[in-house]
Amino acid sequence: MTALDDRPRTAEEPAPPSRPDLHARTAELLRLRQAVRGGPGAGATEAQRTRGKLTVHERLDLLFDDDTFVEIEGFRRHRASGFGLEDRRPHTDGVVTGWGRVHGRTVFAYAHDFRIFGGSLGESHAEKIHKIMDMAEAAGAPLVSLNDGAGARIQEGVSALAGYGGIFRRNVRASGVIPQISVMLGPCAGGATYSPALTDFVFMVRGISQMFITGPDVVEAVTGEKVSQEQLGGADLHAAVSGAASFAYDDEESCLEDVRHLLSLLPANNRELPPAVAPEDGLDGLDESLLDVVPADPHQPYDMREVIARLVDDSEFLEVHERWAPNLLCALARIDGRTVGLVANQPQHLAGVLDIEASHKGASFIQICDAFNIPLVTLVDVPGFLPGTQQEHSGIIRHGAKLLYAYCNATVPRIQVILRKAYGGAYIVMDSRSIGCDLSFAWPTNEIAVMGAEGAVNVIHRRAMAAAEDPEATRRVLTEEYRDALMHPYYAAERGLVDDVIDPRATRPVLAEALRVLRTKQEQLVPRKHGNPPM
């Protein structure tokens, strides 16, 4: 059979126009691909650098292992017309989507390109994000968003708003299924802020990233208050005051380096365990320094981070919400090569007391650990809940119940270590045996009671002290009697509420062995659609 172009022709019949061969088409493809990667032009790139920001591909190169990022829909363009868009149809439509490898494991990502329409979200832009989110969920791999966008694209109207709705719905659907990490590398305003708020971790960079529902101009118009973008929604504000940012950094490089580190501590999805890494330091021997870190006097403060550093592999841990609610520490680390979540009172701040923000912080962290099969180790040195009208009126009962609910609801291995004081309801809430921790250990300095000895004596022996010739001497005697009778180190162990009183120096090997035994823990849950936690 003769091909159409090879058939004999008459002299009058013109030859068909020549078409570029595959070599030429391939060369054209490579030129176009290079142009797409380069962005909208040198001027836009220079403007991005003037703002102190990296370009979208520079960021992706920092996030992923070398030469592993695969971009999809790079030639996508918007199809909107009118309002000045008909002659401006750049490739990518302002967002780069794809996947690559981080420490050798697959991770999906989308990254706004502020150089194109200010990274604003339109219909095609949103559809690209929807696709990569669906792929990440289906593949069971983490999703990282590099946010640098000006919000909804005004020229596309309600289509842009609907695009955000699709993102939010997918954020919720993937919640607890795959890790979702938001990295804020530019402005994020209005409804766009709810996607980061729905993810597991939020990273911000000082000076270039902001999040707020309404910008400074609107705030001034409505309230008369003059405030800068950084003061209203900058990294330090969200890291220390609002708690909306899990981490804050001085530059994009260190930020993305810690994103990679965080991913190395997390499983790919809720059906897997986090990757194990052999520790460089061994578990053998006793750590004598632990005897000097924690003072025996329950009123003397110390830095709980020093304890954590001695319990985890290579003294390395990643603290979440380091500057927000500092009276409670939450950190990811490894013990015996496997990821654990650490929740610990911090006596250096408010004596380690629990308050509204600490309760919220701890509950959120516990839920993340439970969703992704990360065992929980709770280090207890807590005097109680913070008293006062401000806490009561702001809902300490409701917020404190969040922490209680999160612990009771968690099915991962749970180990409690009581270092010093553990008083009242705060003792119960900090993963006590009574609410379901698997193993409870205590140091010989532990004091577990309804309240401190001094407060208890004031309640029980108020009349006796009032009638005594020397009330202060009587108080001291009665306090020591109460402490010796009900707060000695073995009181809880004698009643089965503590599994063992351990040598503080052996805490790390004790935890390693307990975690090894509990690694295959399984729980049978009552069938239900979902619980109804305090909100």
- The CATH number covering residue 191 comes to 3.90.226.10
Distance CA(483)–CA(453), nearest Å, equals 6
Residues 154 and 60 in one domain: yes
Residues 388 and 501 in one domain: yes
* Residue 191 a catalytic site member: yes
Residue 366 within a domain = yes
Identified catalytic residue from 74, 118, 176, 191: 191
- 207 vs 39, which has greater pLDDT? 207
How many Å separate Cα 377 from the centre of its chain? 17
Identified catalytic residue from 157, 190, 436, 455: 190
Residues 198 and 302 in one domain: no
Residues 377 and 514 in one domain: yes
Residues 239 and 309 in one domain: no
Residue 224 within a domain = yes
Helix, coil or strand: residue 420: strand
Boundary-marking domain end, from 211, 232, 265 = 265
* Residues 137/104, Cβ–Cβ less than 8 Å: no
Distance CA(260)–CA(256), nearest Å, equals 6
Instruction: Compute the mean pLDDT over every residue in the chain, rounded to the nearest whole number.
Output: 90
State yes or no: pLDDT of 307 exceeds 70: yes
Distance CA(505)–CA(474), nearest Å, equals 37
Residue 215 within a domain = yes
Residue 302 Cα distances to 217, 274, 299, 341, angstroms: 44, 31, 10, 21
User: So what's the pLDDT on residue 232?
Assistant: 94
Residues 196 and 337 in one domain: no
Tell me what percent of the residues of the chain surpass a pLDDT of 90: 63
* Residue 400 a catalytic site member: no
Residues 337 and 424 in one domain: yes
pLDDT-based confidence at residue 42 (cuts at 50, 70, 90):
confident
Q: Considering its fold, how many domains does the chain have in total?
A: 2
Residue 252 within a domain = yes
Choose the weakest-confidence range: 19-23, 59-63, 423-427, 457-461.
Answer: 457-461
Residue 474 within a domain = no
User: So what's the pLDDT on residue 1?
Assistant: 45
AA letter at 318: L
Identified catalytic residue from 111, 174, 331, 426: 426
Boundary-marking domain end, from 250, 265, 280 = 265
- Tens of pLDDT along 363-398? 999 999 999 999 999 999 999 999 999 999 999 999
- 432 vs 480, which has greater pLDDT? 432
Furthest C-alpha separation in the chain: 133
CA dihedral 238, 242, 245, 251 (to 10 degrees): 20
Boundary-marking domain end, from 231, 265, 299 = 265
CB burial readout 506-525, b (16+ within 10 A) else e: bbbbbbbebbeeeeeeeeee
Identified catalytic residue from 157, 166, 215, 425: 425
Residues 237 and 369 in one domain: no
Residues 67 and 113 in one domain: yes
State yes or no: pLDDT of 460 exceeds 80: no
Residue 77 within a domain = yes
State yes or no: pLDDT of 82 exceeds 70: no
Strands (E), 283-383: 317-320, 328-335, 338-345, 376-382
Residues 245 and 297 in one domain: no
User: So what's the pLDDT on residue 31?
Assistant: 84
- 132 vs 283, which has greater pLDDT? 132
State yes or no: pLDDT of 5 exceeds 80: no
- Tens of pLDDT along 467-517? 777 777 777 777 777 777 766 778 888 888 999 999 999 999 999 999 999
Mean pLDDT throughout 392-413? Answer: 96
* Residues 376/344, Cβ–Cβ less than 8 Å: no
- Phi, psi at 316, each rounded to 5°: -115, 125
Distance CA(67)–CA(189), nearest Å, equals 33
Give the bridge partners for 332, in sequence order. Answer: 318, 341
pLDDT-based confidence at residue 10 (cuts at 50, 70, 90):
low
Tell me what percent of the residues of the chain surpass a pLDDT of 70: 93
Strands 95-102 and 105-112: antiparallel
- Tens of pLDDT along 177-212? 999 999 999 999 888 899 999 999 999 999 999 999
State yes or no: pLDDT of 455 exceeds 90: no
Residue 12 within a domain = no
State yes or no: pLDDT of 362 exceeds 70: yes
Residues 394 and 314 in one domain: yes
User: So what's the pLDDT on residue 13?
Assistant: 67
Residues 250 and 333 in one domain: no
Domain ranges, residue 116: 42-265
Choose the weakest-confidence range: 45-59, 254-268, 336-350, 395-409.
Answer: 45-59
- Tens of pLDDT along 238-265? 999 999 999 999 999 999 999 999 999 9
Residue 361 within a domain = yes
Strands 201-205 and 180-184: parallel
Distance CA(93)–CA(271), nearest Å, equals 35
* Residue 190 a catalytic site member: yes
* Residue 493 a catalytic site member: no
